[in-house]
Structure 1
Amino acid sequence: MLHYSIAVIPGDGIGPEVMEEGLKVLGAIEESHGGIRFARDVMDWNCSYYLQHGKMMPENGLGILKDYDLILLGAIGAPEVPDHVSVWELILPIRRAFQQYVNLRPVKLLKGLESPLRYKGHADFDFVVVRENTEGEYSNMGGRMHQGTPYEMAVQNNVFTRYGTERILKYAYALAEKRSKKSVTAATKSNGINHSMPFWDEIVKEVSQEYSGIQTNLYHIDALAAYFITRPETFDVVVASNLFGDILTDLGAAIVGGLGLAPSANINPERKYPSMFEPIHGSAPDIAGKGIANPIAQVWSLAMMMDHLDLPELSTVIMNAIENVLQDGKVLTPDLGGTATTKELGDEIVRHIYQTTR
């Protein structure tokens, strides 16, 4: 019997709603596939917690989380709390303290869906973006001076280390070795950012020498964004710095159906610390409580969790259930053109899981 412990952070807005469906799917996996159990503890760390306690999580929050095997996150953010507070006091500390330096986001057009790029089909969208997740443009270095005066200024420093850059690139190349196209595309902007990006380019070229069987492409970020639209079928593994990866993955989600369908994994490849799995959509306060949020991104993040646990067969079960529901087209949330509730879509995914395993 395999046993895993999960810290569940439903978060804000639609986070608890989609998380409920994710946990329902997790329960179906346990019941339909003997030999695996997930112990789940729910943490009430969110913006409401911040408004009550003045912090996004307890002082010993990271100490609590480190003993779990995995972390599931719903969505964080509320109008009452500035985004830089909610993100910098919960999500980023988790990613950094637990060395979740790989942010993995698939760009795949699911069966049953149509891309906004009408001239492209399902075979044209099947790549993955590897985003550096702990340094780069999202460093906590800099500051503000002379606030409230005409001399006010703000400085934000980018931090690129050789260690951090090498390890994310090596992860990307190792991933490409397992995929069919054997290709890595690296995002840069060395024609405009004259210190950190040439440094990044140099390390790309160094690391690429260790992977002779992998084709390497180095594109400026502006051109690369355009290529996501005009030729997505040419990509296999795309690797990028923290900011560039963040932007590219939202664009990637848009061309395969939207943020409501997009999952992500924050991975500590060495497995010394727990990895965290989450949808990339926000807390969507405008539809929170209406019961119409799309839970697919949360459920898909569970499939990514199964892959991380080296349980690809369970990942396949979840993904097949999602795609079967989408192809049936009978139980879809409003963002997908249907009238179903969050719960109804979650129930339908669960039904397909049981249907294929009985």
Structure 2
Amino acid sequence: MRNYKIAVIPGDGIGTEVLAAGIDVLHALARNGDFAISPQQLPWSSDQYLHLGHYIPDGGLERLKTFDAIFFGAVGSEKVPDHVSLWGLRLPICQGFDQYANVRPARVLPGVTSPLTNGKDIDWVVIRENSEGEYAGNGGRVHRGLPIEVATETSVFTRRGVERIHRFSFELARKRPRKHLTLVTKSNAQRHGMVMWDEIFYEVAKEYPDVTTRRELVDAMTTRMVLKPATIDVMVATNLHADILSDLAAALSGSLGIAPTANLNPEREFPSMFEPIHGSAFDIAGKGIANPIATFWTAAMMLEHLGEAKAAARLMKAIETVTAAKVHTPDLGGTATTKQVTQAVIAAL
């Protein structure tokens, strides 16, 4: 029997609640399958940071390398500045394990209502370059507190980094029925890095004549997502642009509570990390009403990455059965609790 060793990092806020639900569902799925999961929880969180002064302990990344995948909840605390928590936990894993392809599917699940009248046309995949760009961390501050204080934040685009995310995007678009890929850019204003981003896209495009392409400025892309969702299939964008667009995609699909993410190292030199995109959600943490659907969909993406496509499909079918039955948490207009949605998905399995 195949046994997958999963590092579980619940993190902060509702991350602890939804990841516990996700593990319950994975165990239920494995009981009726021909594989097993061995989850190991790591207490890397803002509480640990406040107590010990670090998110990831010495040797933490080396320890993570021994796992088949990483299941991540959320990071962020009202007691810790956001840039400290993000750079203390999530980004060291993504960048340290070269998880350069961030994949975020978006579609309106059965029984879920989109705020758009044409929301049924949403069937997208947002691909985010996840290792460099605007989140490279290149920059600094000098003369702090003085009138001449200066802060710089420099986007970094490398030919290797840009080429590989474009090639990944073309490969994914080629596997989908429409075979359509939108290049999201801002090269009219950012004339160096973004112009190179565009040029490399069209160089790679020559290798994929079966994929139809479109170029769209990022500001125009937001309006296209709202007004003409049927014209979009797969989109590829930089670290910052795709971060923003994928949250919009989730909201247009009904809720951030249903949106999954995979942080992939496609070459499988390191374990990949799978996380729902909703964040730690301080306002509802501890109330038992966090939507676990994003976590379950994320778990399905993890299973697919691990080679368990049949189990992933079973889980997605169970998710859609539950959403179609309108067993919804408050973010989707329902009254169900996290536990009730979890129980319903397990029953559907």
TM value normalised by structure 1: 0.96
Q: Which of 195, 200, 212 does residue 197 from structure 2 map onto?
A: 200
- Tell me if the contact between 2:119 and 2:252 (Cα under 8 Å) persists in the aligned partners: no
| Counterpart amino acid of residue 224 in structure 1 | M
- Partner of residue 89, structure 1: 88
- Partner of residue 139, structure 1: 136
- Tell me if the contact between 2:255 and 2:332 (Cα under 8 Å) persists in the aligned partners: no
Q: Where do 5+ consecutive residues of structure 1 fail to align?
A: 354-358
| Counterpart amino acid of residue 185 in structure 1 | T
Q: Which of 220, 223, 228 does residue 223 from structure 1 map onto?
A: 220
- Tell me if the contact between 2:9 and 2:44 (Cα under 8 Å) persists in the aligned partners: yes
Matches for 1:298-317 after TM superposition, within 5 Å: 298-317=295-314
- Distance across 1 between alignment mates of 2:119 and 2:184: 25
The C-alpha deviation readout for 1:223-269, integer Å capped at 9, x for no partner, is: 11110111111111100110011011011001101211101000011
- Partner of residue 6, structure 2: 6
- Tell me if the contact between 2:179 and 2:212 (Cα under 8 Å) persists in the aligned partners: yes
Offset of 1:310 from its aligned partner? Answer: 2.5
- Partner of residue 48, structure 2: 49
Segments of 4+ moved more than 3 angstroms: none
Q: Kindly indicate whether residue 264 of structure 2 is the aligned counterpart of residue 264 of structure 1.
A: no
Q: Secondary structure at the match of 2:181?
A: strand
- Distance across 2 between alignment mates of 1:9 and 1:278: 10
TM value normalised by structure 2: 0.98
RMSD of Structure 2 on Structure 1 (CA):
0.9
Q: Kindly indicate whether residue 109 of structure 2 is the aligned counterpart of residue 110 of structure 1.
A: yes
| Counterpart amino acid of residue 61 in structure 1 | G
Q: Which of 208, 211, 228 does residue 214 from structure 1 map onto?
A: 211
The C-alpha deviation readout for 1:32-52, integer Å capped at 9, x for no partner, is: 11x201111000000000001
The C-alpha deviation readout for 1:121-158, integer Å capped at 9, x for no partner, is: 43x11110110000001011110011111111100111
- Partner of residue 71, structure 1: 70
- Tell me if the contact between 1:49 and 1:57 (Cα under 8 Å) persists in the aligned partners: no
Offset of 1:170 from its aligned partner? Answer: 0.3
Q: Kindly indicate whether residue 20 of structure 2 is the aligned counterpart of residue 23 of structure 1.
A: no
Q: Kindly indicate whether residue 273 of structure 2 is the aligned counterpart of residue 282 of structure 1.
A: no
- Partner of residue 145, structure 2: 148
Q: Where do 5+ consecutive residues of structure 2 fail to align?
A: none
State the identity %. Answer: 51
- Tell me if the contact between 1:135 and 1:164 (Cα under 8 Å) persists in the aligned partners: yes
Q: Which of 149, 159, 162 does residue 162 from structure 1 map onto?
A: 159
- Distance across 2 between alignment mates of 1:177 and 1:327: 30
- Distance across 2 between alignment mates of 1:181 and 1:189: 25
Equivalent pairs, count: 349
- Partner of residue 241, structure 1: 238
- Partner of residue 341, structure 1: 337
- Partner of residue 58, structure 1: 57
Q: Secondary structure at the match of 1:37?
A: strand
- Partner of residue 356, structure 1: none
- Distance across 2 between alignment mates of 1:148 and 1:194: 31
| Counterpart amino acid of residue 88 in structure 1 | W
